[in-house]
Structure 1
């Protein structure tokens, strides 16, 4: 083999290698490599708000009552609570079973022979109540219903402890403090006793949840005086009735005034103002005193 043959073979091999490199798909120089595609931005997940509790709403009302008494505006952060979820516990029947002729809106009775528990929970109708009309001025509504938050000094939602009696059989000093000055008040002072839209209460009844039903709203959500009722068979030791029962109201705060969800009003400087909290109720449940056993529940 001469040198010309070797040279021709080398040239042929070089051309073959070059052809292979050029034909390889996807081969790029360093300068031609595309940058990595940016990762898509993940949308922020909405933050789940912790439901406000009975204690939280009592605090909101206390701040609003303080603002009303001082003649100043309610704090902006409290007005901004519209739409915030809440769960409020309302203990009832703390004094024991209701008498047969009782018409208390929240009551229970137990028949030990039939081993039957009966419960009645009726929301108040406040459509024409003067404090509601005043608080909701400018809001078009056709009905107003709600619940009292009784004993708003109790933040836990439990029945109070029965006052201890002294040897004479009277309540211990301080147990009945303030009873002498208790006066009768009404959401609608012009209504007559027995009126379905009247709620005669003592001056200590100062905090309420109020739901306004605007024209065109779902009528199924309105109770119109129909009670939530439970009739169930229970053995005498099935639940502890000595501590009463509970109503658990779940929903969202709603606009009651032009400013926000709470409005307070008062007539006398030495009395706590009456405060109303606007709500939209999603669920009402009746439970035992522990809250663990649900006796009945209703969704709106």
Structure 2
């Protein structure tokens, strides 16, 4: 005798279908997630430090570029030098004492060149530097409406980039061997109308005396002395720190850098300080 077939209840069928669907969903959720996209790194931050301090070589190179551009009728540049600090060392008195009767200062200032001379019948040496009065000079005039005065310092032998004495001896056979080249590069220490007057020389020279030690008279230096000029480049009215002028196309331009002078000093050839002056 055959047993009757029992059909599953509808609720059981629905429950089974739900379990199958849930298992499929769990399998989909368990699938591994795709790897994360690589992070985009930001470019490294480059710290920009202060510009290096200008020395004699760097300043003369900048003036050479400005002189060449001016002679070619191009923009002489120099704007990027405004605000740069400088420490210029240059030799003086390499060939011996200054000629007798050389004026170191006067109503219109000096010649803007350092020198030394004998004093007290050879018992002392006198180092002098009298800034030139460039207040009314065409090189400085109109540089800035706020400037009241300008004192000039030449950078002699601009073809020599080192701060020591030249190593070329005098050659009497050379044409014009004893002729002195005109000065073409210099620094103008400018003073504002409402600024401090402590740093102005007003025609007075920087002076220092090397005196005898006991009964021994001072000895003439074999490698001269050193002048130190320290400060910060400033700008003319056009924003440039260097201004060039020339009387004609066949003459080397004269270039002047506008500066705020913080320190003037005399040193011996070994760098030993002898004397210094600061505005304060």
Shared fold, TM over 0.5: yes
Q: Which runs of 4+ in 1 moved over 6 A?
A: 236-240
Q: In the superposition, relative to structure 1, how do residues 240 and 114 fare at CA in structure 2: closer, same or farther (>3 Å)?
A: closer
Q: Which residue of 2 aligns with 1:221?
A: 199
> Are the aligned partners of 1:151 and 1:204 in contact in 2 as well (CA < 8 Å)?
no
TM-score by length of 1: 0.67
The answer as to whether partners of 2:85 and 2:231 remain within 8 angstroms in 1 is yes
Work out whether residues 139 and 243 of structure 2, in 8 Å CA contact, stay in contact via their aligned partners in 1: no
Deviations 1:38-89 (A, max 9, x none): xxxxxx98834321011111111111111111111134xx312211110112
For 1:37, the equivalent position in structure 2 comes to none
CA contact (8 A) 2:211 2:218 kept: no
Q: Cα deviation per residue 1:164-194 (whole Å; 9 max; x = unaligned)?
A: 55xxxxx2436739x5xxxxxxxxxxxxxxx
Deviations 1:75-106 (A, max 9, x none): 4xx31221111011232222212344221552
Q: Partner of 2:64: helix, strand, or coil?
A: helix
Q: Please state whether the residue corresponding to 2:222 is helix, strand or coil.
A: helix
The structural deviation recorded for 1:227 is 1.0
1:110·1:116 contact (CA, 8 Å) conserved in 2? yes
Report what 1:70 is aligned to: 72
- State the match for 1:97 in structure 2: 97
SS of the equivalent of 2:57 reads helix
Task: Report deviation, 1:225.
Answer: 1.0
Q: Which residue in 2 is equivalent to 1:10?
A: none
From 230, 244, 251, give the equivalent of 1:264: 244
CA drift of 1:142 comes to 1.2
Counterpart CA distance in 1 for 2:47 and 2:123 is 50
Which residue of the other structure, out of 239, 260, 264, is the alignment partner of 1:280? 260
Identify which of 139, 146, 155 aligns with 2:145: 139
* CA apart distance, 1:160: 1.9
Partner of 2:275: 296
Query: Which residue of structure 2 aligns with residue 79 of structure 1?
Result: 79
After superposition, the C-alpha distances for 1:198-238 in whole angstroms (9 at most, x for unaligned) are: xxxx7631111012211111001111111111123245697
Q: Partner residue of 2:53?
A: 51
**TM-score normalised by L of structure 2:** 0.71
SS at match of 1:251: strand
Quick one: distance in 1 between partners of 2:76 and 2:196? 31
- What SS does the aligned partner of 1:250 have? strand
Pairing 1:1-300 to 2, within 5 Å after superposition: 47-75=49-77, 78-104=78-104, 105=110, 106-110=114-118, 115-133=123-141, 136=143, 138-161=144-167, 163-165=169-171, 171-173=172-174, 176=177, 179=179, 204-235=182-213, 241-290=221-270, 292-300=271-279
What secondary structure, in the 3-state scheme, does the structure 1 residue paired with 2:230 have?
strand
Find the structure with the greater CA-based Rg. 2
Kindly state the Cα deviation for residue 288 of structure 1 after the two structures are TM-superposed: 1.0
CA RMSD of aligned residues (A): 2.7
- Compared CA separation, residues 103 and 45, structure 1 to 2 (3 A): same
**Equivalent position of 2:36 in the other structure:** none
Aligned residues: 224
Cα distance in 1, alignment partners of residues 217 and 176 from structure 2: 30
Question: Which deviations, in whole Å up to 9, do the C-alpha atoms of 1:78-136 show, x marking residues without a partner?
Answer: 312211110112322222123442215522124597742221111111111122115x1
Q: Which runs of 5+ in 2 are unaligned?
A: 1-45, 105-109
Distance in 1, Cα, partners of 2:177 & 2:237? 36
